[in-house]
Structure 1
Amino acid sequence: MKFGYQTNTWGGVVGHPAGVTSVKDLYYLANGSTEEAIKEISEAGYNGFELFDGNLMQFKDRKEDFKNLLKQYSIEFIGVYTGGNFIYPDILEEELQKIEDVSALASELGARHLVIGGGAVRSNGILESDYSDLAKALDKVAAIAEKYQLIPSYHPHLGTNVEAPDQLDKLMALTNINLCPDTAHIEAGGGDPVVVIRKFADRIKYVHFKDYANGEFLPLGEGHQKFDEMVKLLNGIHYDDWITVELDSYADPKKGAEISRKFLSNFEK
């Protein structure tokens, strides 16, 4: 296993303001310095990083700057997190084009994984057809990722129509995309990440860890997540890819990264 960290802790989770009026610009965005995040992630002892699509696209015309960061800090670009509503036909083409642009740049800059969140919740509630529409859209996203030699994985998330265990089961039966279990989001949605990893072991190509307790996302070891059981399951399926810590916010981002890295040392052989 290899250990990475998400840059979103530096600046927190926001969105690109242009996305309010332009679907093609509807990116996730961390409002901090990507350069500082990569530097401190490396200093904390991680070998790779993941970032949001909006932060990646800031380097669209500065590709050499991005490559120089990788060399300067001897760190790998694991992947990029993107997403969409995916249930509204009128905007789906724009969402897929955005994801294609992100995938192309990510691949060019050496990424391995494309992580996809989403599945909108309507103001008047979720329709049963939303799951089949989401599944069809995710299959199209997977095809885009594979076109650019990226490994696509769906990431269940609070605030989408795939929060609860039954919602995840419903979706996974309708699509062929891989699953990126975010252990804390799964628990916050009422599920058990150990059960999810066991159930979908053959579809897990990438993993997000973060701890959780009392409704709060936490550095690893500061909540009550059963990471020892999760790692045992992953070892049992000979999982040999990245585990990325993805902590949405922390008062001192580098300190949070260091706490989780020290905890992960328990699983190093």
Structure 2
Amino acid sequence: MKKIYFASDQHFGAPTPELSLPREKKFVAWLDEVKEDAEAIFLLGDLFDFWFEYKTVVPKGFVRVLGKLAEIRDSGIPIYFFVGNHDLWMNDYFEKELNIPVYHDNREFTFNGKTFLIGHGDGKGPGDKGYKRMKKVFTNPFSKWLFRWLHPDLGVGLAQYLSVKNKLISGDEDITFLGEDKEWLILYAKRKLETKHYNYFVFGHRHLPMIIPVGEDSNYVNLGDWIGYFTYGVFDGENFELKKFEK
């Protein structure tokens, strides 16, 4: 079979559009490479450091990556997008303009007899109660309605500032491995295994590339990021690997 590719946490636009541009070009080069043998591509959130869809307006920029995604999707390769904590205000822009489905929570997939639970990973597992409360506020329809009344120049600028400065709002954590008994997503995966078996739990959010066994023939995968690691996941029908894009 062809390969299934996974990537997450590009955070394009941060810390500034100018400094983000080389990373965006590198990611587009990766998309050009994997499209040659991709059965499907999964993007697991935080593609942008901030994203909000007004009724007729979206944040400017990112034309290279959006154009490449459109090209790949038009070629017939499925692309699946899972919102992260930085782009959780996605609505239907990707679906209407790019024909890319957008998921706001985990989804199950099966490839070649292997079961996957896939998502961004924010707000899962025990702890992180402050962010979980904040996420409920941000995803409330009334909150989104209020934000739309801000002029985009004000609303987007304010949100971009808070995205970088306020870690409670963004949901970001220190990028340090806490140990298997303290990593929330590992604990979450082990709890899910109590009721249903999955071969792979594939998440982003933690920015740490790792594959850790969590049960019999079951692994937790974190994809890393495209800020310092430039890592991605690839499933060839039998095995799952993390690789680093070097170009």
Bigger relative contact order, structure 1 or 2 (CA pairs below 8 A, ≥6 apart): 2
Q: TM-score, normalised by structure 2?
A: 0.45
Q: TM-score, normalised by structure 1?
A: 0.42
